[in-house]
Amino acid sequence: MGLALWMVLVPVLAAFVCVLVPARQACVQRGLALAGSVITLLLALLAWLRFPGAVQAGGGANPAAAGVPLVSHLPWFTLPGLWQQQDVTVGLSFGLDGLSLTLAGLTALLALLAAAAVRPEEAEMRRFALWSQLAAAGAIAAFTALDVLTFFAGLELSLFAGFFLIDLSGDPQRRAAAVKYLLYRGLASVLLLLALFGIAYGVAGGYSSLQPDANGNLPGAPAFTLAWPALQHNLHGLSTAVFPDHARAVLFWVLLLGILVEEAFVPFHTWLPTAHEHTSAPVSMLLGGVLTKTGAYALLRFGAGLLPDQLQHFATWVAVLGTINILYGAFAAWAQRDWRRLIAFGSISHMGLVLLATAAGNAAGLQGAMFMMVSSGLLTAFLFFLAGAVQARTQTAELGRLGGLSRPLPLLSGFWLVAALGALGLPLTSGFVSEIQSFIGSFHRFPAISFVAALGLILSAVYLLYAIQQTTFGPLRPEYASLADAQARELWPAVVLTAVVLWVGVYPNGLGQVLGQTVQQLLQMGG
């Protein structure tokens, strides 16, 4: 017990210690960031081991955590008289169901690898360690929060930490990029907040308007709650007579709009390529790998979890949006001449598939969407890591100025090919397992849309292999003849990422069992 809470607290503590240690001790700072992430990751692994047992034991009796296997509950603060003179207690409550556990673990892993990837000349270590640990803490809190307000607390923490991280690089336009990021995602937070509080009030209002039955008892009117498992449960039993469809529809669209901005979906995406282009690689790993996955998380947790009927009702819209993102992202990636922008658009294209698969609403689609979040996080971070490692040597990430790198940098080039192949969905990598499940799901519900979306499979091969051909293939450029290939200290993140990508791809059931728990739960809500 308490694992979830400690997964949030450990990085916060690490960040706190970072403040106490002098900035010039860069090694200590890096060590703190690494240690914080390693401990968080070990906690995630421990939770992973305990997970099957906890699922069998069933969730606690507490309605605020129903259906969530691993929960840690602490009262945090009380909002007096928030609803009909009732006090509402906000919990410092975190829970690990399949999706939360996976994403929290991914956050810890990428925070670890990002800390390992920092180059002293690129960013001041203390500031990176401090903000990356806080960003990880915020993201983990958002992914594991049982309470809507706690979710926002985590979201805002990661938002501000992300702002300072982007601002760390030496790029002259970093400040503008960071502000753009902050404004966009701040707007997204407002929209999400509106939608979720709307739902909470709608549920409470709906129950309080029910008539007493013959015995004069109110039919199980629950207290006002901000805990999503309780909201989920209460919504499930609430008829559309007292919480009308049109109100739900409005809330759904506000939520969806928030998600589209949060996750950088077209046309609210321009902050993402800009941010990646003007920040350093370790920050891009965190930003592209996990900090942007909160939108997709909100889609599954609150879209599919709280408003499944609305998601089904507007599923075609969501599927079309997803397909637009897949194709727009892929074509835009093809046109890019800078690796960092290319990776950013590629990840937009991948996340479009998450929209499409989630809209399908069946087991394969939901599971595919979750796999895709993980896979996209891993591979986006992997590609940014490599682009950063090469950029540190060649001083450029422009395709036109690279070429023939296989000769001086055989190891980095090899890993780059692995990452690109994973991203284009080659079998036995995580990319394939995600795509096949997503498409199995989407073809069942939207055959025509899916035929169009499948073009993305060809396009991803086009833009990635084109970029690889420009980068590692071809005649050696004389200015790169004496570059030194990666040493062990720089290689182990690539080895770890390769191992995880292959593990998911070769034996997907390991991850599938954990994510499947959330899939089953979401299907029960929808069905």
Partner 1 sequence: MVAYAWLVPLLPLAAYVFLLVLGRRAPEGVAAGVSVVCSLASFLVSAAVFRAAASQGPVGPYLFHWLTLGSASISFGFEVTRLNALMILVVSLVSTLVLLYSAGYMHGDERFPVFYQYLNLFVFSMLALVLSPNLLQLYIFWEMVGLCSYLLVGFWYFKPEAALAAKKSFIVTRIGDTGLLIGIVLLYWASGSFDYSTVFAAAGAGQWSLGWVSGQELTTLCALLVFLGAVGKSAQFPLHVWLPDAMEGPTPVSALIHAATMVAAGVYLVARCYPLFQASPGALATVAWIGAITALLAALIALTQRDIKRVIAYSTVSQLGYMMLALGVGAYAYGVFHLMTHAFFKALLFLAAGSVIHAVDTQDLFEMGGLYRKLPLTAWTFLAGALALAGVVPFAGFWSKDDILAAALNTGHPVLWGMLLLAAFCTAFYIFRVYFLVFTGAPRQPERWQHAHEGSWVMTLPLLVLAAMATIAGFFNSPLNGDGLEHFLFADSPQHQIGYTAPENVPLMLLSLLVALLGIGLAAAVYWRPRQSQRPERWARAWGPFYTLSYRKFYLDEVYYAALVYTGKGIAAVVDWIDRYVIDALVRVVGRLVYSVSVLLKFSQTGQVQAYSTVAALGVLVLVAWAMLRAGGVH
Helix axes 281-289, 98-117, angle to 10 degrees: 180
Q: Which residue has the tokens 């997970």?
A: 51
Sort 228 into a burial class: Cβ within 10 Å, 0-12 / 13-18 / 19+: buried
According to CB under 8 A, which one of 153, 332, 357, 399 is a site residue for partner 1?
332
- Contact letters (x/-) for partner 1, 405-434, by CB under 8 A? -xx--x----------x----xxx---xx-
Measured CA to CA, the distance from residue 259 to residue 425 in angstroms comes to: 25
Q: Token pair for residue 92?
A: 């410092």
SS3 66: coil
According to CB under 8 A, which one of 62, 86, 312, 362 is a site residue for partner 1?
362
Q: Token pair for residue 478?
A: 């004389």
According to CB under 8 A, which one of 336, 375, 394, 430 is a site residue for partner 1?
336
If binding is defined by CB under 8 A, does position 367 make contact with partner 1? yes
DSSP-H helix ranges across 238-307: 245-262, 271-277, 281-289, 294-298, 305-306
According to CB under 8 A, which one of 27, 335, 481, 495 is a site residue for partner 1?
335
Q: Which is nearer to partner 1, 285 or 327 (CB)?
A: 327
Q: Which residues contact 142 (CB under 8 A, 6 or more apart)?
A: 151, 154, 155, 158, 294, 297
| Rounded alpha-carbon distances, angstroms, from residue 34 to 55, 79, 158, 448 | 31, 37, 18, 47
Rounded to a whole number of angstroms, the minimum distance from the CB of residue 194 to partner 1 is: 20
Q: Which is nearer to partner 1, 140 or 464 (CB)?
A: 464
Q: How many CA atoms lie within 13 A of 356 on its CB side?
A: 35
- Contact letters (x/-) for partner 1, 35-64, by CB under 8 A? ------------------------------
- Cα angle at 345 between 343 and 351, to 5 degrees? 100
Rounded to a whole number of angstroms, the minimum distance from the CB of residue 289 to partner 1 is: 23
Q: Is the peptide bond before 267 cis (omega within 30 degrees of 0)?
A: yes
Rounded to a whole number of angstroms, the minimum distance from the CB of residue 283 to partner 1 is: 21
Measured CA to CA, the distance from residue 275 to residue 125 in angstroms comes to: 20
Number of residues that bind partner 1 (CB under 8 A): 60
Q: Which is nearer to partner 1, 172 or 475 (CB)?
A: 475
Q: Which residues contact 258 (CB under 8 A, 6 or more apart)?
A: 188, 189, 190, 191, 192, 194, 195, 295, 298
Rounded to a whole number of angstroms, the minimum distance from the CB of residue 443 to partner 1 is: 5
Rounded to a whole number of angstroms, the minimum distance from the CB of residue 75 to partner 1 is: 37
- Binding region for partner 1 (CB under 8 A) out of 50-58, 155-163, 266-274, 492-500: 266-274
- Binding region for partner 1 (CB under 8 A) out of 27-35, 81-89, 103-111, 404-412: 404-412
Which run of H or E residues covers position 97?
A: none
Helices and strands: H and E segment counts in the chain: 22, 4
Q: Which is nearer to partner 1, 60 or 516 (CB)?
A: 516
Rounded to a whole number of angstroms, the minimum distance from the CB of residue 407 to partner 1 is: 7
User: What residues from 438 to 477 belong to the interface with partner 1 (CB under 8 A)?
Assistant: 439-440, 443-444, 447-448, 450-451, 454-455, 457-459, 461-462, 465-466, 468-469, 472-476
- Binding region for partner 1 (CB under 8 A) out of 6-14, 132-140, 373-381, 401-409: 401-409
If binding is defined by CB under 8 A, does position 503 make contact with partner 1? no
Q: Which is nearer to partner 1, 140 or 514 (CB)?
A: 514
Q: Which is nearer to partner 1, 392 or 428 (CB)?
A: 428
Rounded to a whole number of angstroms, the minimum distance from the CB of residue 509 to partner 1 is: 5
- Contact letters (x/-) for partner 1, 158-187, by CB under 8 A? ----------------------x--x----
- Cα angle at 305 between 90 and 359, to 5 degrees? 145
Measured CA to CA, the distance from residue 302 to residue 299 in angstroms comes to: 6
If binding is defined by CB under 8 A, does position 359 make contact with partner 1? no
Minimal CA–CA distance to 154: which of 345, 311, 351, 294?
A: 294
* Chain centroid offset of residue 119 CA: 25
* Burial call 58-69: b when 16+ CB within 10 Å, e when fewer: ebbebbbbbbbb
Rounded to a whole number of angstroms, the minimum distance from the CB of residue 350 to partner 1 is: 16
According to CB under 8 A, which one of 270, 316, 396, 524 is a site residue for partner 1?
270
- Contact letters (x/-) for partner 1, 222-261, by CB under 8 A? ----------------------------------------
User: Does residue 274 contact residue 341 with C-beta atoms inside 8 Å?
Assistant: no
User: Does residue 163 contact residue 147 with C-beta atoms inside 8 Å?
Assistant: no
Q: Which is nearer to partner 1, 152 or 271 (CB)?
A: 271
If binding is defined by CB under 8 A, does position 512 make contact with partner 1? yes
Q: Which is nearer to partner 1, 291 or 459 (CB)?
A: 459
Q: What is the DSSP letter of 400?
A: G
Measured CA to CA, the distance from residue 29 to residue 38 in angstroms comes to: 14
According to CB under 8 A, which one of 328, 339, 385, 480 is a site residue for partner 1?
328
User: Does residue 330 contact residue 268 with C-beta atoms inside 8 Å?
Assistant: no
Site for partner 1, rule CB under 8 A: 180, 183, 266-267, 269-270, 328, 331-332, 334-336, 362-364, 367, 404, 406-407, 410, 421, 426-428, 432-433, 436-437, 439-440, 443-444, 447-448, 450-451, 454-455, 457-459, 461-462, 465-466, 468-469, 472-476, 507-509, 512-513, 516, 519, 523
